Amino acid sequence: MGNACTHPQGSTVECKRGKRKRKKPQASFSHTGFSSSSSSSSVSEAQHTSSRGFGSWSRHFWVLESPDGHDVHRRYRLGRELGRGEFGVTHLCVDSESNEELACKSISKKKLRTEIDVEDVRREVEIMRSLPECGNIVRLREAYEDREAIHLVMELCKGGELFDRIVARGHYTERAAAAILKTIVEVVM
């Protein structure tokens, strides 16, 4: 039946023009983290499942060493989108117990393509957990992880970002700029 390429799970995919298609080495994800593997090694069903054929992977791996839970929806109700970034989306989030408005940053695991991406997320959570309580630093409340994403529940900043304020205002007086800079320096020190 013509030339075919072997899919990592044993199924075959037709190659164009009768040439064998070589698959580049891919990263392998496991329950305990991230490891590198070559295309010749076998990949277990538990680690990868293919939904639409060659190159379309759904990765099931764990990023956080000790998440606060696995189902963010048990305690929090996610609302409208507040922002969007390279790896995920931030939603308005309401604590079901206290009715407090918070923010939930959901980082899609599909976007974590390299070991560096995974380590960056781990480091972000570690840093946020270790920050001291301060009125000018957003505090991480809880970190959840499910099969699809990492969900970081944190304080809601209703004022928006400093950059957006600067752009909207156009310019600041020297006194106003000094007050903002003083706050930034106090937080960093």
Residue 145 lies in a domain: yes
pLDDT of residue 103 exceeding 90, the answer is yes
Cα–Cα nearest to 181, from 167, 166, 159: 166
Instruction: Record the pTM.
Output: 0.63
Q: Are residues 167 and 142 in the same domain?
A: no
In sequence order, which residues have a C-beta less than 8 Å from that of residue 175 and are 6 or more positions away? none
Range of the domain at 110: 72-155
Q: DSSP label at 19?
A: P
Tell me the per-residue pLDDT of 19-73, one tens digit each, with 9 for 90 and over: 444 333 334 343 344 443 333 333 333 333 333 222 334 447 889 988 898 999 9
- Helix, strand, coil percentages in the chain from 3-state DSSP, rounded to 5: 25, 30, 45
pLDDT of residue 113 exceeding 50, the answer is yes
180 is written with which tokens?
């903002």
Q: Are residues 95 and 112 in the same domain?
A: yes
Question: CATH no. for residue 88?
Answer: 3.30.200.20
Buried b (16+ CB within 10 A) or exposed e, 64-87: beebeeeebeebbebeeebeeeeb
Q: How far apart are CA 186 and CA 136, in angstroms?
A: 9
Q: Are residues 172 and 106 in the same domain?
A: no
Q: How far apart are CA 144 and CA 67, in angstroms?
A: 5
> What residues form the annotated binding site?
105
Q: Are residues 147 and 172 in the same domain?
A: no
Residue 64 lies in a domain: no
Contact 118, 33 (CB under 8 A): yes
Residue 67 lies in a domain: no
> What residues form the annotated binding site for ATP?
105
Structurally, how many domains does the chain consist of?
3
